[in-house]
Structure 1
Amino acid sequence: MKGRVENVVERGKVGDEYISGEDEVVVLDRSKDRDKTGHVMPNLIYVSREKSRTSPHNFKAGALNVLIRVSATMTNSPIILTLDCDMYSNDPITPQRVLCYFSEPEVQSQVGYIQFPQMFHGINKNDTYNCEFKRSFVINSRGLDGLKGPNHVGTGCFFNRRAFFGGPSTLLLPELSELSPYNVVNKPIQSPEVLALAHLVAGCNFENHSQWGFKMGVKYGTIVEDFFTGYRLQCEGWKSIFCNPERAAFYGDAPISLVDVLNQNKRWVLGFLEVSESWFVLYIFLFLGAYVKDFLDFMLGGAGTFQKWWNDQRMWLIRSLSCFLFGCVEYFMKSVGISMHGFNVTSKVVDEEQSKRYEQGTFEFGVHSSMFVPVIMAAITNFVALISGLIMILRGKNYFEGFFIQLLIAVFAIVNCLPVYEAMAFRRSDKGGIPIKTTLLSAFLSFTLFTIAYVTLRS
């Protein structure tokens, strides 16, 4: 096989001589296939998934759903093991442990999956890059086991096939009765009918206008399909079990390069941020509730008007990006002996024009100051984010649901930055506007950050 693979790689294509025995190569049937010693071999089905550029589900979740459907046509076993390609079994009695759980009728009807912790070999003595993730894979999972159970971590997990078809009390019927979790397969896996059906359900267009990836199977919408699927299954009413025997059930590889570790974590962070559920409205409620409470405290305390409160909370945001930030930096520099500035006296000189603008409630900038730069950068960034988001929504109507919270945050920031836009873009005739030098510097730094972020995401 090694020689044939190398030959195909060198030629750049699979020759006809390797395709002539397709069924015998990709399928092993335990009813008739034996090894050289005469022992029966287990069923083996290799699936090369059809892909299409027009299909939005060409990631791991899509591949798992294909495997769920193909396995249903050939055996429809009630238990499914998901395992990453770089992991191997370390304990042959692991399936027996799982069967001990699923053999209980009450467990089988309520438990969606049994999760084993991720274990890695090759990690150095002090785990330099913190690749074991003991908190996520062991400590937190052990604590959650007393509640509804741990979340799914992508590998080393035995699923109840029934869990992919709705909650414990709700059965979703798939398009084909052969894919139902209760269907009994009574034909050999190499029969023409089974192979034809397997090819059908593995097609990239089979899921079009279906519930796969949304209500059935592994869930779509994020690159961390493991976390999202486990979360959705628990929301549907399924429980999970954490099984952590003394002898590790599975072992896998861990990255030993810092850049690989960081890239892996970046992908996880991106995936976690992609999960937006309707319960996110709770955070909106808390956000608005905190502002309403602050407003009531402000007004009931006899502090004044709505405009006065608005200026109060707006100045907190401006301070956090200017004086608070620079104060912390300056303290750090002073502490390490790099720099130390003298005491700055607050100017109390009365200027007639400046006093007039102050009485009118107009923000006064006037001079070039480095403390204005972060504030202006925030204003530019949120303005560009809002425009970009609106353009993407106009190009594709399906973007709005995913971008709603981001757009809401950008609008909130823009409303708070209205005085900055007025002083920066709409040049005032007085001397209180933002100097052009400050605007150009802020715009240059914002563009630099945009470029770095774009290059990082593309890589």
Structure 2
Amino acid sequence: MDVHQDMKKRIEAVTDKGCVPEEIKNQHKGFSEWNADVTKQNHQPIVQFVIDGRDTDAVDSAGCRLPTLVYMAREKRPGWPHHFKAGAMNALIRVSSEISSGAIILNLDCDMYANNADSIKEALCFLMDEKRGHQIAYVQHPQNYNNITKNDLYGNSSPVLHKVELAGIGGFGTALYCGTGCFHRRTSLCGSKYSKDYKGLWNLETRKDDTRTVSELEEASKVLASCGYEQGTLWGKEMGLVYGCPVEDIVTGLTIQCRGWKSVYYNPDNKAFLGVAPPTLDIALVQFTRWSDGMFQIFLSKYCPFIYGHNKMKLGAQMGYSVYLLWAPFSLPNLYYAIALPLSLLHGIPLFPEVSSRWFIPFAYVFLSKNIYSIAEALICGSTFKAWWNLQRMWVIRRTTAFFFAFIDCIVRQLGLSQTTFSITAKVVTEDVSKRYQQEIMEFGSTSIMFTVISTLAMLNLFSLVGVLKMVFLGGSEYKNIEKLICQVILCVLMVMVNAPVYEALFFRKDRGSIPVSVMFKSIVVASLACLLPLN
């Protein structure tokens, strides 16, 4: 840990200074290539051996041999598409092939770390299984985090998703590739189709000629990391990660499975990898916007599971994929319901059968059975009741904001009015934000349009509930038979309870994480105007 703290201090010192000190540049020749003319979006390919695993002197403090460690920065030039994370991954695949050609590749995001040293051996148990190992393209671990609060404030841990849903899809041999925590078979990732003849080819996947010097390997690798290398090739199409989609991992996993390979979802009790979950609501919603946008884009493309996977995947697997690919359009009925329910209640318009009617029974059965089963499932999977409640709140918020904006973005892109973008999820926050997160206080603090939507819907439900209670007690004619509206009253009460942290941030909190006054003003005005509109 002292080594990591020392590294952290050195990185922070360089960041504060704004440049790399000369003494450090002299220790690492790769730094010398980052001169004053180089920028993040305009630089040559850089490949440097930090540790040469062939060197017998490359050992740790215990005398154990260290593996080869290589630093790579692929070339970027204005006018050349770099394809974001997918482009970086493909460059890494090619460079690693030149240096080692290892049969298995571990894909791990920079904000995650290995928590279980046995995870490699466990993955190899699947990939080297005598009966079915030759069919398996990759072994996917769930995304687990080390900063989840006790009651999972933003619904990031999703134990039911990890233990039930993703495991169920994996049962078809079509585990989703999630972009991190995944052990890949190099040949399947590089475009090979599954063949029964592949069985027993482990001995043929040997290291490339390692008699070349470090300098020779570095120069050869730079060619593979250049901008023009992929031009006229199948990289990004049939080889490596697929280009043109914000969720390149999901579509890449789908194409691998449609080439005949199987995949395994593995969720051990001792978590293989841990990362950092979004510690603010804004960051969490940006992440879900990108995910749902990219997945809906897949559904509308040639990679739609029902088209691209026809006769290549089982129907259950196609439907399992679509549950996530259709997150964005799911926003429409949810958003409509979040608006129509309070407005119809306020105007005394019944949407459900009377409680005394036998037609009320199906509605009550669906509502009760769904929620009782959901609670039981969450508790069995290790959640607390409050964590389940927080997740229900987050689903309401996601569906009415992130999913909706993703739907709009995707449709606009399909019409040719915009291009694919990639939003990086920044997870570094200030100390006071981190403190509120640990105290499980929701973080707002910005004028994001998503927060305006959240606040407006919260105020709309509050106004409607207060309005109907006022009319009932004052004896409004349209509320004489309250039995017709009892279901809407109950649902509106639940919506108000779900939005309790929003009201707190609007009216009671004074910290920087509260909802800004400008957002509060806009939400009150819009909600008030909506309540005044006639529905008849």
Question: Normalization by structure 1: what TM-score?
Answer: 0.57
- Say if 1:213 and 1:219, in contact at 8 Å, map to a contact too: yes
Secondary structure of the structure 1 residue equivalent to 2:137: strand
Distance 1:391 1:102, change over 3 A: closer
Alignment equivalent of 2:97, drawn from 48, 54, 72: 72
- Say if 1:83 and 1:154, in contact at 8 Å, map to a contact too: yes
Alignment equivalent of 1:161, drawn from 163, 181, 186: 186
Secondary structure of the structure 2 residue equivalent to 1:278: coil
How many Å separate the matches in 1 of 2:105 and 2:306?
35
Distance 1:138 1:15, change over 3 A: same
- Say if 2:50 and 2:70, in contact at 8 Å, map to a contact too: yes
% identity of equivalent residues: 32
User: Cα offset for 1:237?
Assistant: 1.2
User: Cα offset for 1:386?
Assistant: 9.3
- Say if 1:29 and 1:44, in contact at 8 Å, map to a contact too: yes
- Say if 1:221 and 1:274, in contact at 8 Å, map to a contact too: no
User: Cα offset for 1:26?
Assistant: 4.0
Larger Rg: 1
How many Å separate the matches in 2 of 1:92 and 1:386?
45
User: Cα offset for 1:166?
Assistant: 2.4
Aligned to 2:221: 198
How many Å separate the matches in 1 of 2:305 and 2:143?
33
Tell me the number of residue pairs that the alignment of Structure 1 and Structure 2 aligns: 302
Aligned to 1:219: 242
How many Å separate the matches in 2 of 1:88 and 1:6?
20
1:81-106 CA distance string (max 9 Å, x none): 01111111111111111121222355
Q: Identify unmatched segments of 5+ residues in structure 2.
A: 1-6, 31-47, 198-203, 308-332, 350-407, 421-525, 527-536
Aligned to 2:264: 241
1:166-214 CA distance string (max 9 Å, x none): 211399xxxxxxxxx9564121575333221111101122112211111
User: Cα offset for 1:56?
Assistant: 2.1
Aligned to 1:277: 301
User: Cα offset for 1:136?
Assistant: 3.8
Distance 1:58 1:13, change over 3 A: farther
User: Cα offset for 1:31?
Assistant: 2.4
How many Å separate the matches in 1 of 2:339 and 2:157?
37
How many Å separate the matches in 1 of 2:412 and 2:236?
30
How many Å separate the matches in 2 of 1:39 and 1:272?
44
Distance 1:189 1:243, change over 3 A: farther
1:109-153 CA distance string (max 9 Å, x none): 311100111111221222121111334433222112221231111
Distance 1:277 1:330, change over 3 A: closer
Aligned to 1:60: 85
1:110 aligns with 2:135: yes
Aligned to 1:250: 273
Distance 1:170 1:271, change over 3 A: farther
Distance 1:3 1:250, change over 3 A: closer
User: Cα offset for 1:325?
Assistant: 11
Distance 1:50 1:136, change over 3 A: farther
1:84 aligns with 2:105: no
Question: Normalization by structure 2: what TM-score?
Answer: 0.50
Aligned to 2:345: 332
User: Cα offset for 1:36?
Assistant: 4.5
What amino acid is the match of 2:162? F
How many Å separate the matches in 2 of 1:104 and 1:281?
28
Range moving further from structure 2, 113-122 or 68-77: 113-122
Secondary structure of the structure 1 residue equivalent to 2:148: coil
What amino acid is the match of 2:123? V
Aligned to 2:123: 98
How many Å separate the matches in 1 of 2:244 and 2:94?
20
How many Å separate the matches in 2 of 1:86 and 1:332?
46
Aligned to 2:175: 150
How many Å separate the matches in 2 of 1:34 and 1:71?
21
What amino acid is the match of 1:47? M
What amino acid is the match of 2:68? N
How many Å separate the matches in 1 of 2:259 and 2:414?
35
- Say if 2:102 and 2:206, in contact at 8 Å, map to a contact too: no
- Say if 1:30 and 1:42, in contact at 8 Å, map to a contact too: yes
What amino acid is the match of 1:251? L
Alignment of 1:157-196 (within 5 A): 157-164=182-189, 165-169=191-195, 182=205, 184-187=207-210, 190-196=213-219
Aligned to 2:146: 121
What amino acid is the match of 1:333? L
Distance 1:20 1:210, change over 3 A: farther
Aligned to 1:264: 287
Distance 1:50 1:388, change over 3 A: closer
